[in-house]
Chains A and B, each alone.
Chain A
Amino acid sequence: MNIHAVREQFPILHQEVNGHPLVYLDSAASSQKPRSVIDAVSRYYELDNANVHRGVHTLGSRATDAYEGAREKVAAFLNAESPEQIIFTRGTTTALNLVATGYARSVCGEGDEIVITPMEHHSNLIPWQQAAKATGATLKYIPLQPDGTLSLEDVEKTITPRTKVVSVTYVSNVLGVVNPIKAIAEIAHRAGAIMVVDGAQSTPHKRVDVQDLGADFYAFSGHKMCAPTGIGALYGKRTLLENMEPIEFGGEMIDFVELYDSTWKDIPYRFEGGTPVIAGAVGLGAAIDFLESVGLDEIEQHERRLAAYAYERLSTIEGLQMYGPKENRVGLITFNLDDVHPHDVATVLDSKGIAIRAGHHCCQPLMRWLNVSATARASFYLYNTESDIDHLTDALIQTKEFFGHAIG
């Protein structure tokens, strides 16, 4: 992977922020977009824009082809059995809400169980809280090991024959842990439960095969993988999708409408009420082409190298604590610096042109498990370099000095 060639394709990276060259270390929140994605969206609006699945005119056909072409790209990217099993959504949150409301509520009842983990992002936690409250099901948590990983022994203990749904993130947005989804899915299936996977942090960074994983549903967002905001997708097993209820009703999703009753289109259209995010889907298709051209395995290797380098560099800073396991982690590092609050760390870094995230990362229960109120997080993507990590390390040492003087 030629890092310079990759960086050249991201126009936003070549600017100064607060008088310093931008060092963007917040891709786990949202990634930057390559020229090819920006151009694909512009080209769509300049040449093909029209509504999909209804007009008989030429632009309508082109827009439909572009939109459905993107669906085929997503299906191939995830190794889904067929494009109809890909539902375009606003992102991971909308996708998981669709499963929790449209599917889980119809299969869960009093005494049934929904199993998740304490490391879930709020978007894979609150929909299940709500589903449990609505159905009388019990929400159960697979406990975390001291280093933040899951043990299969605990997975076995937590999942029972009453478990209907197991929903776990593939990669933690805080701990950087890669969860053993395939093994968890096998345990879930043996118990007769379905396996839902939050793929928000995995899809951008590693090759994903939903069939090999044993995922019954798999959700992800485009904007974390070089695509525009406002587009993402839900993959589902065909029989499950066919038994899932739509949760949004209106145009585009209907088969036949009478005064007092209506019927739905086939999957996936019954879940895509209203005019979809067509340009976003086109952008997502272009992002997939871009990531494939670089190579998902190369991207994963590059990020693992960066994470190992960052781990080593940041370990040299006295008073800096890192969270999550040292081994088998993806390209993000969550940390705290002595007594300096992460917001203050982020502000000092920003003054040096370095963008990191500070806060609870939409993981309040995990923050309580870590016994912190907030943390700082630096996350890496294919366009980051070892030099970015050197800048981060230097700036953190300066932050410590700055606050040492200011406080001392």
Chain B
Amino acid sequence: MQLDDLYRRVIMDHYKNPRNRGTMDEGAVTINLNNPTCGDRISLQLQVEDGVVSNAKYTGEGCSISMSSASMMTEAVKGKSFQQALEMAERFSCLMKGEDVEFQENEDIEALSGVNKFPARIKCATLAWNALRKGIENEAKS
């Protein structure tokens, strides 16, 4: 069990200097998601135009893994179509299963591959991505 596999420098950088942390004005879609087993919570906001995520911001409370994952995800999702965003979320699930996948959208995300060796922490990493999935699925329906 190597802690450095989990807490890579790039993860700590996103934790300490979060990107896209904050809220947006009205007109954005808000998704609130909790992790009831540990108390982590995220409020994700997506600006949506013609089936494209034009902007993303988040607020929340959680550990370094959940918050850095949210920071990376919001960077990567900007400018992506719903389909591209869902495909990326699916790829993130594969990353958590230990599969060898790439994120050309934001290579920082690949630093979270180490979470796979810490099963208790996978839920932390996927919280923001589940919020993204939920937000887009709701939007696609409406």
Instruction: Give chain A's interface residues, CB within 8 Å of chain B.
Output: 18-19, 341-344, 347-348, 350-351, 358-360, 364, 367, 373-374, 402-403, 406-407
| Contact present for A406 and B41 (CB under 8 Å) | no
Q: What's the minimum C-beta distance from A26 to chain B, rounded to whole angstroms?
A: 13
Asked if A344 and B39 sit within 8 Å, CB to CB, the answer is no
Q: Is B101 an interface residue (CB 8 A)?
A: no
Residues of chain B with a CB closer than 8 A to A364's CB: 39
The answer to whether A360 and B7 touch across the interface, beta carbons within 8 angstroms, is no
Of B45-53, B86-94, B116-124, which stretch is located at the interface? B116-124
Would you call B63 and A402 a contact (CB within 8 A)?
no
Given A367-B39, A373-B39, A374-B38; A19-B1 close (CB under 8 Å)? yes
Q: Which residue of A lies closest to B123 (CB)?
A: A343
Which 3 pairs from chain A and chain B are nearest by CB? A341-B63, A343-B63, A360-B39
Q: Are B1 and A359 in contact (CB under 8 A)?
A: no
When A19-B1, A402-B7 are in contact, do A407 and B39 touch as well, CB less than 8 Å?
no
User: B15 contacts the other chain (Cβ, under 8 Å)?
Assistant: yes
Knowing A358-B38, A359-B38, A360-B39 are in contact, say whether A343-B7 is a contact too (CB < 8 A): no
| Shortest distance from the beta carbon of A95 to any chain B beta carbon, whole Å | 23
Sample of 5 further A-B pairs with CB below 8 A, known A341-B63, A344-B63, A364-B39: A343-B38, A344-B7, A344-B65, A374-B40, A374-B61
List chain A residues, Cβ under 8 A from B121.
343, 347
CB–CB B39/A347 < 8 A = no
Q: List 21 A-B contacts (CB under 8 A).
A: A18-B1, A343-B38, A343-B62, A343-B65, A343-B124, A347-B3, A350-B1, A351-B1, A359-B38, A359-B39, A367-B39, A373-B41, A373-B61, A374-B39, A374-B61, A402-B3, A402-B7, A403-B7, A406-B7, A406-B12, A407-B12
Please tell me if B142 contacts chain A, counting CB pairs below 8 Å: no
A271–B68 CA distance with the chains assembled, in angstroms: 50
Q: Which residue of A lies closest to B2 (CB)?
A: A351
Contacts of A350 in B (CB 8 A): 1
User: In the complex the two chains form, is B118's CB within 8 Å of A347's CB?
Assistant: yes
A211 CA / B61 CA spacing, docked (Å): 45
CB-nearest residue of chain A relative to B67?
Answer: A341
Q: Could you say which residues of chain A place their CB within 8 Å of the CB of B65?
A: 343-344
Does B20 reach chain A (CB closer than 8 Å)?
no
Mostly helix, strand, loop or mixed at chain A's interface?
helix
> Which residues of chain A are near B40, meaning CB under 8 Å?
343, 373-374
In the bound complex, how far is the Cα of B124 from the Cα of A243, in angstroms? 47
Task: List chain B positions with a Cβ less than 8 A from chain A.
Answer: 1, 3, 6-7, 9, 12, 15-16, 37-41, 61-65, 118, 120-121, 124
Q: Which residues of B contact A341 (CB under 8 A)?
A: 62-64
Q: Judging by beta carbons under 8 Å apart, are B15 and A407 in contact? A: yes
* Cα distance, A359 to B40, chains bound together (Å): 8
Question: In the complex, how many angstroms separate the beta carbon of A147 from the nearest chain B beta carbon?
Answer: 23
Which B residues touch A360, using CB under 8 A?
Answer: 38-39
Check if A348 sits within 8 Å of B63, measured CB to CB. no
Cross-chain contact of B16 among A342, A359, A374, A407 (Cβ < 8 A):
A407
Separation of A198 and B77 alpha carbons in the complex (Å): 48
Interface-centre pick from A341, A348, A403 (highest chain B CB count, 10 A): A341
Bound form: Cα–Cα A403–B15 in Å = 11
Identity of the chain B residue whose Cβ is nearest the Cβ of A358 in the assembled complex:
B38
Q: Would you call B38 and A344 a contact (CB within 8 A)?
A: no
Contacts of A19 in B (CB 8 A): 1
| Chain A contacts for B37, CB-based, 8 A | 359
Q: CB-nearest residue of chain B relative to A374?
A: B39
Among A347, A358, A360, A373: residue with most chain B CB under 10 A: A347
Nearest opposing residue in chain B for A353, CB measure: B1
Smallest beta-carbon distance A75→chain B, Å: 36
CB-CB < 8 A to A358: which residues of B? 38
B-side contacts of A373, CB under 8 Å: 39-41, 61-62
A403 contacts which chain B residues (CB < 8 A)? Answer: 7, 12
> Do the beta carbons of B6 and A347 come within 8 Å of each other?
yes
Closest residue on chain B to residue A408 by CB atoms: B16
Q: Which of B6, B61, B64 has the most CB atoms of chain A within a 10 A radius of its CB?
A: B64
Q: In the complex, A403→B40 CA distance in Å?
A: 19
Given contact pairs A341-B62, A406-B9, A406-B12, A348 touches B38 in the complex (Cβ within 8 A) = no
B1, B15, B16, B121: residue with the most chain A Cβ atoms closer than 10 Å = B1
Q: Is the CB of B3 within 8 A of A351?
A: yes
Residues of A contacting B120 in the complex (Cβ-Cβ under 8 angstroms): 347
